[in-house]
Structure 1
Amino acid sequence: MSDQTGDELTFGIEEEFLVVDRNGRLSQADQVVSDAAETGDGDGELQHELIQAQAEIATDVCRTRDEALQRLRELRDDLASAARRQGRRLLPAASPPVPEEKLPVVTRSPRYERIAEQFGATARTSLTCGCHVHVAIPDKETGIQVLGRIRPWLPALLTVTANSAIADGYDTGYRSWRYQQWSRWPSAGPPPRFSSLDEYEAVVDAWLRSGAILDRGMVYWDVRLSEKQPTIEFRIADVAATPEEAVLLGVLARGLVATALADGNPPPYLANEVLRAQLWRASRDGVAGRCPHPRNGDLAPTKAVLADLIELTGSALDSAGDLEFAQEATARLCAEGGGADRQRRRFAERGRGEDVVDLLAGTP
């Protein structure tokens, strides 16, 4: 995900999914992942996750929006087809809509088992699925400046794919309940405004020494420096209900990074306590409500905040050929509602989480 051609930044998208049975309850994903890896045609990676009922896809390096969309569709189709062959379903939901009688089973691997032992119920009940976007950067020192400049826009990005309103059989009152659940990890949430790479590394080192993380892969900030590629990794979002919404998140994230790279001003000051409150509001309201505006912290209609985000990043979006897509996709999202709003409308009909599963995964 780190290659770069011409003036455009490359990017890649990772998505986590639940694998469920015909009734919408959690089912093992290992055979589904293996089957899809053997028979699938999509370019990218298929992986296991912390919980046995989770599966992950990752595109390879993408240079255009169309590339990313095609690869996400192919990889999703590969997993969904493999699930159907085994009488299961692939569920693009950030939290399970149907309640479970037992705790989820942790995937058998030394690392995941160590995490489960160290973090107890935080690990065993953190059944959430996210969407991660990697955007290429020149180096980590530059990445620290980029992190500082994009922090204020994290609440707006959170609203784009909010897709976890219904969880455990009830309406949570949040568009992104996943964000509230994920925030229980000691290393989760928004990153501070760092003055240098040394300061960033000092925090990570302190976490390691305290046992708050077991390795650097557990740096769970909403946006971070990737450990494996020279990229900025956005971890703020729910898994999107559709590939198109995931790609919208991707192009907005890339536009933000490109705009931040071209900005010669110091990163703005924004206290983490304030940013946490703003993220709480964004996780509650999603695209259908109001979101704190990065310019002044006041609540504004989310559609107005997203319009200002597109205006801010307009030059970068236009250069990448993404401006018209971003404008149209955002307008449609705000007019029709996102994944969480569709979940809520379906759930309101009969009050059944199973109906939400059918909406997102298709009728078995």
Structure 2
Amino acid sequence: MTSIPTFGVEEEFLLVDERGRLSDRGPDIVEAADRPEGEVQRELARSQVELATSVCHDAGELLDQLTRFRARLAAEAGGKRLRLVATGTPVLTEDRPPEITPTPRYRRMGEHFGMLARTGTTCGCHVHVRIPDRGTGVRASNHVRPWLPVLLALTANSPFDSGDDTRYSSWRHVLWSRWPSAGPPPLFASLDEYESRVAAMLESGAMLDRGMLYWDIRLSDKQPTLEFRISDVAASAREATTLAVLARALVVTALSELDHPPPPIPGEVLRANLWRAARDGLDGAVPHPATGRLTPVPSLLGQLVDHVRGPLTDAGDLDFVTGSLAWISEHGNGAQRQRRTYDRTGSLTGVVDLLSLH
């Protein structure tokens, strides 16, 4: 593996009709939009569509793919008088829960988990960063996990759900945390311990297969990557790229720190910190990864950049990240822009318009 690992992104979107209500035609969009470059996939709910980039080497390549893939999916949806919406939760009230996509795996999930699988439709952004091997990936996860609340606060993009202001910045995170296999990953002494935890959850029925391991960071079973699953789907391709670049830099920094013990943050404390980040988002404060003292998120973002400055500089990503963070500071992250749009228009349909891809 080179010193600057490759990476890629998966994004989940909601599919809505002209009124902004969820549409069950996600499988139609997947079939129509399938192309050799990248990948378009079905999701648990028929009202969702997922895109996955190919392996990327730098921020420019990733941003280009995300921009083009989003435009392609938006065009396919528009041709069917539908829209793709980049938000973590449905904005408008729905008459009934969305239908589950009728594949054998998703049907089994629906039967096994009941209303948990049928309520709380959410859309996230997943970043894959290449790792040398699975054992090293587990050790890197131990070092990266304290920064998860900062990443969540930065990318929060789901303040509204089913017609209500939830008073959270990332309501998606709260809903997703209901799954028994979700949440922050534990500290692991070894890959064997990681695998024993996974086996125990499979045995309990909390997971039906390894694909249902929903930790906020996990080893990918399909690719040689460490997968970040902490974030809401980003409102823009640039914000998704910013997340991916920061995630990659965190992994590279972690790989350089493996001779030192990771911060010993207990799982229940990290879960509490993530709850606070989900509630307050970019406007709030979360405990510092090293000291535990409440620190404003904008200040922590500056310290995060300093923490990973070496890998950002080596990859040529520093100017991109600092420019993106400056833009977010001026214009707000997804959750802030959603609320400002609602305050300005007095309409949740205006929020849907803001989030619709073009």
Give the TM-score category using the shorter length: over 0.9
Match of residue 335 from structure 2: 340
What's the TM-score, normalizing by structure 1? 0.96
Post-superposition CA distance 1:271-300 (Å, at most 9, x none): 111101100111111112222211211111
- Unpaired runs of 5+ residues, structure 1, are none
Aligned to 1:12: 8
Match of 2:50 in 1: 56
Letter in 1 for 2:31: S
Partner of 2:326: 331
Residue correspondences, number: 356
Shift of 1:99: 0.7
Q: Secondary structure at the match of 1:17?
A: strand
Task: Give the match's secondary structure for 1:8.
Answer: coil
Query: Post-superposition shift, 1:332?
Result: 2.1
What SS is found at the alignment partner of 2:270? helix
2:197 alignment partner in structure 1: 203
Match of 2:94 among 100, 106, 111: 100
Aligned with 1:9: secondary structure? coil
Q: Do structure 1's residue 245 and structure 2's residue 242 form an aligned pair?
A: no
How far did 1:309 drift? 0.5
Q: What are the Cα deviations for residues 197-216 of structure 1, in whole angstroms up to 9, with x where unaligned? A: 11111111011111010000
* 2:28 matched residue in structure 1: 31
Q: Which amino acid aligns with 1:24?
A: G
Number of the residue aligned with 1:227 = 221
Shift of 1:352: 2.9
Q: Is the 8 A contact 1:287 1:333 kept in 2?
A: no
Structure 1 residue 350 displacement after superposition: 4.8
Residues 343 and 135 of structure 1: CA distance in aligned 2, closer, same or farther (over 3 Å): same
- Among 281, 285, 304, which residue is 2:276 paired with? 281
The residue number in structure 1 matching 2:129 is: 135
Pick from 303, 310, 319 the counterpart of residue 298 of structure 2: 303
1:30 offset after TM fit, Å?
A: 1.3
Per-residue Cα deviation, 1:249-277 (whole angstroms, up to 9, x for no partner): 00000000000001121212001111011
Find the residue that maps to 2:230 and give its secondary structure.
Answer: strand
The answer to whether residue 333 in structure 2 is matched with residue 360 in structure 1 is no
Structure 2, gaps ≥5 residues long: none
Give 1:75's aligned amino acid: F
Q: Deviations over 1:79-120 (max 9, x none)?
A: 100000000001011100001001110001000000011111
Distance 1:33 1:228 in 2: 21
Q: 2:155 aligns with which of 136, 143, 161?
A: 161
Shift of 1:219: 0.3
**Is 1:125 aligned with 2:151?**
no
1:321-353 per-residue CA deviation (whole Å, 9 max, x = no partner) reads: 001111121122123210100111112245432
Equivalents in 2 of 1:362, 1:246: separation in Å? 14
1:220-274 deviation digits (Å, cap 9, x = unpaired): 0000011111110000000000000000000000000000001121212001111
State TM-score, norm by structure 2. 0.97
Partner-residue secondary structure (3-state), 1:329: helix
- Measured in 1, the distance between the counterparts of 2:324 and 2:291 equals 26
State percent identity of aligned pairs.
52
